[in-house]
Amino acid sequence: MSTRRKVLGSAATLAVGGLLGCSIPSRQGASMTDHTPDAVFHNGRFTTLNRAQPTATAVAVKDGRFIAVGSDTEVLALAGSGTRRIDLQRRSVLPGLFDNHTHVVRGGLNYNMELRWDGVRSLADALDMLKRQVAITPAPQWVRVVGGFTEHQFVEKRLPTLAEINAIAPDTPVFLLHLYDRALLNGAALRAVGYTRDTQAPPGGEIVRDAAGNPTGLLLAKPNATILYATLAKGPKLPLDYQISSTRHFMRELNRLGVTGVIDAGGGNQNYPEDYEVIQKLAEANQITVRLAYNLFTQKPQQEKEDFLKWTSSVKYKQGDDYFRHNGAGEMLVYSAADFEDFRVERPDMPPQMEGELEEVVRVLVQNQWPWRLHATYDETISRALDVFEKVHRDTPLTGIHWFFDHAETISDRSIDRIAALGGGIAVQHRMAYQGEYFLERYGAKAAEATPPIKRILDKGVKVSAGTDATRVASYNPWVSLAWMITGKTLGGTQLYPQRNLLDRETALRMWTENVAWFSNEEGRRGRIAVGQLADFIVPSKDYFSVPEDEISFLTSLLTVVGGRVVYGEGEFAPHDDNPLPPAMPDWSPVRSFKGYAAWGDPEGAGRHSLHPARYQAVSSCGCASACGLHGHDHASAWGSAAPASDLKGFFGALGCSCWAV
């Protein structure tokens, strides 16, 4: 058994006192040499979120936990000859960010294959990324742009057309997923998946067709996304060793953004235990750099009860360790209770059998003392689910079970009160930052003022925390979520919420740290920089509490520490990085060229308009930093045209176009 595995099973060290607010550990009968820290991080400006000791300049870590928090003088005095010392250069320090709802297991399996448009601010830049990736992607592989963005983030305020995609990629399959409302497939992708005029769409989805009945390449969720992810599932998959590389690179990207932990909410077509093999192997090799608590998502419609009967007999709640462990059921408990969040279509009514099917599963979970989470966008769904929970509670109390709703954009005060009475919680995510414009168009500004009503939930004392719902319906970037709660703005700049519904920066930060601990049943063990808690913290690229509001979403982490180990270091902290990775596999992976959010690996190319607020403001005013004499700033239109770009001599003449040279 590894040293880390032995440590994770031990009890947390308790603090019994200290000078000037420094918490010094003590164990009765133990010698002081037992407390020599593994590492000391000093000369920092720590925001601890510990109300008894809100600030500090140094911390000491042993066996993955904080054993001292206080001043440089006090904490450095604990160091021994073998203690690692890291100078934080007077930078601000925050607890590690903890995502209450994401899909890292699924996302990790595919990350190295995905061209991420998350954070890219110009459609012209996004199409340039597509063009460059198509050029190096070998047959029969696809180029996949799989969510994490919205058309409203682009200065052009639109998606690419099918003509544009086909012009860039006539022979390479391209699958482009926009939120969970539509997918665009070029001609090569339609051929790869075999969609023809005879192909029937599943219930709740549409294959858009031309006048002759042939698929155009546009797939619509009406209202559920089954057709979108069923089509995506037809694409090639990475072999196991490549999936391991992919998951490690995805975790490193999360570390770069300050994420030290997640709760994985399962996913459609994600099978247990087969699809968890990669995470299990990383856990056994001590290579997990993002703590992961996972929920089990039902896999078979009409067989949901059988799924949970099988799992509750074979999987023990909380089995695992502090890096990889089971966290209960959901976010899908029964398919009949899934109200997909596509605000471009009318709210779906759940079928009449929902209550009966949900009750069967909830009774299995309560009998086994398993917590659960339930995807629920609309109050109409939430209120019906609460009828079921209250019925079960009358027979078998839910007391002590940490169950909760996910999303809850339109939850009512009455439903919040009912949740409070049953001891449940609400996990919110920043989906409205991506879909707010669609919600406004359908329901109006008044209805959008509190979607979800985070302030009211907090005021009522209900457990509530924040996350992303990445990687498809929103991006994995936590700073976008923090900015959304603080500013009330969508990625497109639309003001959704009035001042009275906005959070201050400390409250928003607690939503991403200590508040999440209840949702993983780890209260008092993580989320703050305090003695006895897990030693997870970050050094943001700028001071979160003083940076202008419009710059919050541009923050990253310069130093990310998980369990006292430096899992990411940048700039002056790069020499301390304990987690260097070999290049992403395969060699044509988009991660090699663009790295991740906002194409940060290509700062003077695809990322040039996306990585700095000043540059984004400049491109917002004109559309692009490099205009074409023929098309102005609309390079996307040029790329989608039938221009003879291959004829370099004729095309790039006096009457030619420079869009293709951008």
Q: CA-CA distances (angstroms) from residue 331 to 71, 225, 396, 407? A: 43, 15, 22, 10
Residue 136 lies in a domain: yes
Residues 6 or more apart whose CB falls under 8 angstroms from that of 4 comprise 64, 286, 323, 563
Predicted local distance difference test score (pLDDT) of residue 65 = 98
Residue 443 lies in a domain: yes
Predicted local distance difference test score (pLDDT) of residue 34 = 64
Cβ atoms of 428 and 407 closer than 8 Å: yes
Does residue 51 surpass a pLDDT of 80? Answer: yes
Predicted local distance difference test score (pLDDT) of residue 644 = 54
Type and span of the H or E element at 219: strand 215-221
Among the candidates 549, 576, 603, a domain finishes at 576
Residues 174 and 82 in one domain: no
Residues 6 or more apart whose CB falls under 8 angstroms from that of 534 comprise 64, 65, 66, 291, 322, 525, 526, 563
Does residue 17 surpass a pLDDT of 90? Answer: no
The 3 state secondary structure assigned to 295-344 is EECCCCCCCHHHHHHHHHHHCCCCCECCCEEEEEECCCCCHHHCCCCCCC
Residue 614 lies in a domain: no
Predicted local distance difference test score (pLDDT) of residue 204 = 87
Share of the chain above pLDDT 90, in %: 84
The average pLDDT across 187-212 equals 95
Residues 232 and 256 in one domain: no
Does residue 303 surpass a pLDDT of 70? Answer: yes
Does residue 297 surpass a pLDDT of 70? Answer: yes
Residue 120 lies in a domain: yes
Structure tokens given for 520? 């993983």
Give the residue from 265, 247, 258, 128 showing the smallest Cα distance to 553. 258
The rounded mean pLDDT for the chain is: 90
Residue 557 lies in a domain: yes
Does residue 6 surpass a pLDDT of 80? Answer: no
Write the DSSP symbol of residue 577. Answer: -
The average pLDDT across 42-64 equals 98
What is the Cα–Cα distance from 327 to 294, expressed in whole angstroms?
5
Give the residue from 365, 370, 457, 381 showing the smallest Cα distance to 420. 457
Residues 84 and 202 in one domain: no
Q: Could you tell me the pLDDT band of residue 229, with boundaries at 50, 70 and 90?
A: confident
Predicted local distance difference test score (pLDDT) of residue 268 = 81
Among the candidates 90, 120, 151, a domain finishes at 90
Residues 470 and 522 in one domain: yes
Predicted local distance difference test score (pLDDT) of residue 655 = 43
Residues 48 and 73 in one domain: yes
Residues 6 or more apart whose CB falls under 8 angstroms from that of 359 comprise 388, 391, 392
Does residue 575 surpass a pLDDT of 60? Answer: yes
Write the DSSP symbol of residue 200. Answer: P
Q: Is 405 left (phi over 0), alpha (psi -120 to 50) or beta?
A: beta
Q: Could you tell me the pLDDT band of residue 13, with boundaries at 50, 70 and 90?
A: very low
Predicted local distance difference test score (pLDDT) of residue 650 = 44
Residues 255 and 202 in one domain: no
Share of the chain above pLDDT 70, in %: 88
Residue 64 lies in a domain: yes
The average pLDDT across 266-288 equals 93
Sign for the CA dihedral angle at 307, 313, 315, 319 comes to positive
Residue 5 lies in a domain: no
Does residue 530 surpass a pLDDT of 80? Answer: yes
Does residue 21 surpass a pLDDT of 90? Answer: no
644 versus 435: which is more confidently predicted?
435
Our CA angle for 518, 521, 525, nearest 5°, is 85
Q: CA-CA distances (angstroms) from residue 387 to 377, 393, 597, 606? A: 16, 10, 41, 50
Residues 292 and 365 in one domain: yes
The average pLDDT across 328-334 equals 97
Residue 600 lies in a domain: no
Residues 292 and 374 in one domain: yes
The average pLDDT across 63-86 equals 98
Does residue 7 surpass a pLDDT of 70? Answer: no
Write the DSSP symbol of residue 266. Answer: -
The average pLDDT across 170-180 equals 97
Predicted local distance difference test score (pLDDT) of residue 654 = 40
Cβ atoms < 10 Å from Cβ of 537: 31
What is the Cα–Cα distance from 241 to 243, expressed in whole angstroms?
5
Q: Could you tell me the pLDDT band of residue 616, with boundaries at 50, 70 and 90?
A: confident
Residues 537 and 657 in one domain: no
1 versus 511: which is more confidently predicted?
511
Predicted local distance difference test score (pLDDT) of residue 341 = 85
Q: Residue 132 carries which side chain, given as an amino acid letter?
A: R
CATH classification of the domain holding 436:
3.20.20.140
What is the Cα–Cα distance from 181 to 437, expressed in whole angstroms?
14
Predicted local distance difference test score (pLDDT) of residue 620 = 63
Residues 555 and 585 in one domain: no
Q: Is 211 left (phi over 0), alpha (psi -120 to 50) or beta?
A: alpha
Predicted local distance difference test score (pLDDT) of residue 223 = 83
Strands, E, within 90-159: which ranges? 92-95, 97-102, 143-146
Per-residue pLDDT of 92-124, as tens digits, reads 999 999 999 999 999 999 999 999 999 999 999
Number of domains composing the chain: 4
Residues 6 or more apart whose CB falls under 8 angstroms from that of 278 comprise 105, 108, 109, 240, 243, 244, 247
Predicted local distance difference test score (pLDDT) of residue 269 = 77
Cβ atoms of 594 and 97 closer than 8 Å: no
Residue linked to tokens 């049953």: 422
Does residue 215 surpass a pLDDT of 80? Answer: yes
Q: Could you tell me the pLDDT band of residue 35, with boundaries at 50, 70 and 90?
A: confident
Print the domain residue range for 152. Answer: 111-236+581-594
The length of the chain in residues reads 662
Predicted local distance difference test score (pLDDT) of residue 224 = 85
Cβ atoms of 340 and 385 closer than 8 Å: no
Does residue 653 surpass a pLDDT of 70? Answer: no
Per-residue pLDDT of 254-263, as tens digits, reads 999 999 999 9
Per-residue pLDDT of 314-325, as tens digits, reads 999 999 999 999
Q: CA-CA distances (angstroms) from residue 165 to 128, 146, 170, 212, 464? A: 11, 15, 8, 21, 41
Structure tokens given for 656? 């030619």
Predicted local distance difference test score (pLDDT) of residue 631 = 52
What is the Cα–Cα distance from 655 to 347, expressed in whole angstroms?
51
Does residue 621 surpass a pLDDT of 70? Answer: no
Among the candidates 542, 561, 594, a domain finishes at 594
Does residue 660 surpass a pLDDT of 80? Answer: no
Pairing assessment for the beta strands 92-95 and 45-47 based on DSSP bridges: parallel
Structure tokens given for 614? 């000043």
CATH classification of the domain holding 46:
2.30.40.10
Per-residue pLDDT of 357-405, as tens digits, reads 999 999 999 999 999 999 999 999 999 999 999 999 999 999 999 999 9
Structure tokens given for 552? 């919050």
The average pLDDT across 464-493 equals 97
Give the residue from 336, 344, 524, 534 showing the smallest Cα distance to 434. 344
Residues 294 and 404 in one domain: yes
Q: Could you tell me the pLDDT band of residue 240, with boundaries at 50, 70 and 90?
A: very high
345 versus 567: which is more confidently predicted?
567
Q: Which range is least confidently modeled, 307-311, 525-529, 646-650? A: 646-650
Residues 261 and 214 in one domain: no
The average pLDDT across 546-571 equals 98
Predicted local distance difference test score (pLDDT) of residue 161 = 98
CATH classification of the domain holding 175:
3.10.310.70
